[in-house]
Amino acid sequence: MNGAESLLKTLEAGGVDTCFANPGTSEMHLVEAFDRVAGIRPILCLHETVASGAADGYGRMKRKPAMTILHLGPGLANASSNLHNAGKANTPVINIIGDHATYHRKNNPPLQSDIEGLAKVFSHWVRTCEDPVELAGLGREAIGAAMTPPGRIASLIVPADVSWGDAGALPEIDKIQSFEQSVGERRIGEIAAVLKGGGRAAILMNGRAVADEKCLEAAGRIAAHCGAGLFTDTFSPRMARGRGRAVIERLPYLNDAAAAQLKGLTRLILVGSKPPVSFFAYQGKPVLLAPEDCSIHILSEPHEDPLGALEGLASLLNAPYGIEKVYEGKSPDLPSGEMSMEKVGAAIAALMPVNAIVSDESNTSGPHIFKAAEFATAHDWLFLTGGSIGQCLPLGAGASAACPGCKVICLESDGSAMYSIQALWTMARENLDVTTVIFSNRKYAILNIEFMRMGFKSQGKKAKELFDLSRPDLDFVSLARGMGVTGARASTASEFVDLFGNAMEKRGPDLIEVIL
């Protein structure tokens, strides 16, 4: 058995079943070996940012790693911005990066670069295999690294001659599990005492604490019982939301608004989160968002089990079952008439099917949709975790590959969409059940806001041009057609309701361009 096959069989035995790939010559033996490894499905992506973003979406939904195959340093470089987002989301991902044959590296051929140096920037674990007999073992290590709680980016560099060399017999591999560390009784007791103290308290959650509805329920019981606030960071990897799930307030993106929401707090309990900070710094404004005299306490770190900690805390506090505040009420009525983001939000909330997965990079267009979705049926919401735009469509593709039974809804801004528009082709190739909604306001609207927040009174001609996406207008229906995805344009709320309603009724990829 050659190295390539031993690696793929190891990953398969360890539970990897999906590979997002754009291979090249140095990865040919991996490509060839796929046909002897029944359990891994390779999915072709037309740019590596799609591959890494899809692996992120897959990992957020399955809580186990997908693998990528990337072509030397440049392939890894192309994947890196969405690996940045995946790393900030604590998503488990395994990258297999091809390299020149070990004996050819000294000749510095055109595709040579410092792959290890590059991989270290956006990975938690990096190894280069120099010997085919060690490849299976390193593959096993990579799985372990990726599954280290709360989830890690593992990058394994595989030179071509390590892929084609003789790897000997395959070692036995168990499915590797992730075991989150438990939070001890002592710490739970300390937090209980903090919550019983005076002043205004709140719980700030992120990671699995907001992805798992049982965590939300326990936290909601604690918050209701203690009269504490229950918050989540602006951007979390995945949030369980919709009717019947515990209410949790999301901190606003704008630092002034977030600080206002936290004002008056004297105690902040962190569950898988960090002390809240401003996304960017602004002259003369604080970057730490909690009040200065607010004490900060950790119930659970991101690598620890939030469910055990929250249920233990609720129990210790004798917080009754069923007292948590939950989202309730009827779906909004279907809107009609002129276009507005409130109406788009109402339509999406009313029409989304149960267990839908929303990949949200709608930026300035999004707040009304997120608000309206309180009244939607139970669903998962995935956010832009690392601030690197171009996450939404790849993430949605990967989530759909992970959960083929769920409708995926991508909410994407025009400027961000252009960062990874190639994902549409993979949606078509794999017939992924993804509806992409593009909000075309013909500008980087967030940058207009940020510019003014810097204290400038007006924009010069050159500055304006750098935020403007008109001249020419992007036409996303044509872009979708170019990649085999059916698209249509909605200029009124009524048109949007029709298009979105039809999309929810059928299976497969489509695109709706909302003209704002």
Please report, as residue ranges, which positions from 36 to 75 form the binding site for its own copies (by CB under 8 A). Answer: 36, 42, 44, 46-47, 49, 73-75
362 vs 385, which CB is nearer to its own copies? 385
C-alpha distances (whole Å) from 377 to each of 161, 329, 373, 493 are: 52, 10, 8, 21
* 101: contact with its own copies by CB under 8 A: yes
**Which strands make up the sheet holding 125-128, listed edge to edge?**
41-44, 18-21, 66-70, 93-99, 153-159, 125-128
Nearest distance from C-beta of residue 30 to its own copies, angstroms: 10
Enumerate residues 218-277 that contact its own copies by CB under 8 A. Answer: 235, 274, 277
Binding of its own copies by 461 (CB under 8 A): yes
Give the residue, chosen from 96, 352, 479, 493, that forms a contact with its own copies under the rule CB under 8 A.
Answer: 479
For its own copies, the closer of residues 131 and 475 by Cβ is: 475
What kind and span of H or E run contains 186?
helix 185-196
34, 231, 439, 496: which one binds its own copies (CB under 8 A): 34
Distances 255 to 213, 324, 450, 460 between C-alpha atoms, Å: 28, 28, 11, 26
Sign of CA dihedral 344, 350, 351, 357: positive
- DSSP secondary structure string for all residues of 2-42: BHHHHHHHHHHHTT--EEEE---GGGHHHHHHHTT-TT-EE
Identify the H or E element spanning 312. Answer: helix 306-316
* Residues of span 414-443 touching its own copies by CB under 8 A: 415, 418-419, 421-422, 425, 428-429
Q: Considering only 144-152, 213-221, 309-317, 452-460, which stretch makes contact with its own copies by CB under 8 A? A: 452-460
Q: Kindly identify the residues of this chain, within the stretch 351-410, that bind its own copies according to CB under 8 A.
A: 385-388, 390
Reduced to 3 states, what is the DSSP secondary structure of residue 267?
strand
Count of helices and strands (H, E) across the chain: 21, 18
How is residue 282 annotated by DSSP?
Answer: -
- Closest approach of its own copies to the CB of residue 39, in Å: 12
Tokens found for residue 391: 């996450």
Task: Please tell me whether residue 465 binds its own copies under the rule CB under 8 A.
Answer: yes
Stretch that binds its own copies, among 77-85, 197-205, 222-230, 394-402 (CB under 8 A): 77-85
Among 370, 381, 476, 496, binds its own copies (CB under 8 A): 476
- Structure token pair of residue 142: 């990579």
The neighbouring-strand residues paired with 492 are 338
- Between 227 and 460, name the residue whose CB sits nearer to its own copies: 460
Distance CA 154, CA 166 (A): 24
Cross-strand bridge partners of residue 463: none
Q: What whole-number distance in Å separates Cα of residue 487 and Cα of residue 428? A: 12
482 binds its own copies (CB under 8 A): yes
In this chain, which of 12, 15, 17, 88 binds its own copies, going by CB under 8 A?
88
**Could you tell me the smallest distance in angstroms from the CB atom of residue 463 to its own copies?**
5
Selected range binding its own copies among 144-152, 242-250, 392-400, 464-472, rule: CB under 8 A? 464-472
Q: CA–CA separation, 258 vs 256, rounded Å?
A: 5
Q: Where are the beta strands (DSSP E) in 384-505?
A: 408-413, 434-440, 486-490
Compute the least distance from the CB of residue 104 to its own copies, in Å. 4
Among 39, 184, 484, 501, binds its own copies (CB under 8 A): 484
For residues 141-170, which are near its own copies according to CB under 8 A?
Answer: 160-161, 164
Residue 229 Cβ, how far from its own copies at the closest point, in Å? 22
Closer CB to its own copies, 113 or 502, in the complex = 113
Q: 36 vs 506, which CB is nearer to its own copies?
A: 36
Nearest to 511 by CA among 479, 488, 478, 494: 488
Q: Which of residues 103-122 bind its own copies (CB under 8 A)?
A: 103-104, 107-111, 113-114, 117-118, 120-122
On whether the CB atoms of residues 87 and 122 are closer than 8 A, the answer is: yes
Closer by beta carbon to its own copies, 120 or else 325: 120
Does 456 bind its own copies (CB under 8 A)? Our answer is yes
Q: What are phi and psi of 373, to 5 degrees?
A: -70, -10
